[in-house]
Structure 1
Amino acid sequence: MSAYPKAVADGWHPIATLAELKRRPLARMLMDKPLVVFRTANGPAVLLDRCPHRNMALSLGAVRDGAIECPYHGWRFDGAGRCTLTPGADAPARHEASALPVQVAAGLIWTTLAASPRAAPALPHPLEETKFDTFLWPVRPSRARLLDAIENLLDPAHPHFLHAGIVRSRQVRKPVDATVRVRADFAEAIYVENTRPAALMPRMLEGLRGRSIGRFFPPTIGQVAFEGANRLRLAITVFFTPETQDRVRPFAHFATPAGAAPAFIKEGLLRAFHIPVLAQDRAALRRQAESIAAYGPARYALGPLDLLFPAIQALMHGEAVQDSERCVRLHL
């Protein structure tokens, strides 16, 4: 039985970007399993990072002729895990490395550990659309529990304190009407703001903000979006890949409308804005994980602004949820 929530254990997860995969193999981790990613003539391949001969890590080897070569005895394996060469023998060994399913979407390499994999889910709007300038930001892994990392992205309450002056103002709060929707395949909170943000960078990037939206797509995708004048101005979609119980590797996808400004300028501004925010979030999540490890198990008290937390927790575990919709008044 998996130690991970059911929907997470059975789900598809990105483990690398296509841009990261070059000549050398990549060592990655997914739910405590070491994996190796390498390039073949047919595209990316993913194997368990273990040679069946003497259990050496294949990621320490090299890619030769579209196969990965074990650094210990030189056995080579193709993308399907078949041994294609056993040096010193007339024929390759009949043993196989364990191969995993692979999908490529939105510039990401996806795989699953499920015993009976389902089809990879469709990606949310606006991924893979042509009317947007986009870029991928593979963030280095950090100490964080998966649930906490996802909830941090979608939490409307902490930016006034953790990111004061950058994302939200500590002093200024304005009334906001929020609509919370929960369905079997997503949960979202839509905040109707119709105001000019008080913090510096949102004022520079957005102008008048009509709505801000937080969405969760199970098992591990979070998205925040900002709209003005009925037009999407920015969507940040983050794929949270659980490497271990308390280490997460995020992949962030940024999308802005094409044509508003040169794409490289927007990317530079967004990266500069998010560097301090990311550092603050990483520090907070690390300390949160350390506290849970010291006092465990995790205990969560729900407050009036924890709009999506119950749905995130239920959908991650593959629990059935009833369609629901409610409206609340907040001050953000």
Structure 2
Amino acid sequence: MRAIVLTRPRRIEVAAGWPEPRPGAADVVVAVRAVGLCGSDLSVYDGTRPVPYLPWVMGHEGGGEIVAVGSAVTDRRAGQRVVVEPNYCCLACPGCRSGTTSACERRQSAGINVPGLLAERVAVPARFTWPVPATVPDEALACVEPLAVARSAVRRSDVGDGDACLVVGAGSQGLLVCQTLLAAGARAYVTDPHEGRLALAESIGAEPVDPARARGYATVFDTVGLPEAWETSQRAVATGGTVVMIGMGARPVPLSTMALARRQLVVRGSLIYDHPGDFAATLAALAADGGLAPGRVLHAETPPERAADAFAQARTAPGKSWINLTSWREDARDR
């Protein structure tokens, strides 16, 4: 079996002879078709987010076809096409019991602290796989998980129909937030220094704005999480407005308590999604064909043998970088 692994910081290789997954009774084995790349993957790639050991199987945004089920699994079957919900909450800690599984104290995350999805076959907990409607193409499997992140942020913001919102950052997460806002009937404005990303945002219906002139937005979604982007976010939000922080960075951002109080601002962090509601709602929204087409934010596909290029270029590519593993599936059938 083959897998795409990190062997040292910024070094991605295709490993042959990788061990076959050993599913537990409550697991399924998925033959992976498509995997997207995001900022969390890139922090692992850079070495700024340590992993348990090397070489390390990368990737957490994806799905494929179930090829085997564990002895205790009754609600999944071989042949089903599924997307993986890659943050495995414990369902027992205080956060989980309150319904905020995004705050799980024992969360396991594929590609972060448990092996990832970039392999021919992976074993994952059956309860964290979701059957995908036939109307959703294979390439969109790389987008469902980050779309759930975007939809959760919008849900937590209480944005309403017709509201004008600013999205700071037109990377893949920003693009999916724009798409989610538009599908909800809101108006999406967007800033980004990358002209290609702005053009992609405009193509899905968002309106680019000059960050130096952006003012008066009741809700701002910061998908970057860096001080430079925060300057735009805090300047653009209206008095009494809300900044929803999706992007994450280690550097502090400036905001005085005087400004916070005088402008009566709300700063709301939004971390991933809550199981099972947010993933279920995302799949239902895709099945309903309500204007969501996450595949439109995808950058050109990369085959597995060029995975290293996909990682190296992901930060500058317009749209979501993703790796198409279907050629491995075809190879296996030919053998």
TM-score, length of structure 1 as denominator length: 0.29
Greater percentage in strand = 1
TM-score, length of structure 2 as denominator length: 0.29
Greater percentage in helix = 2
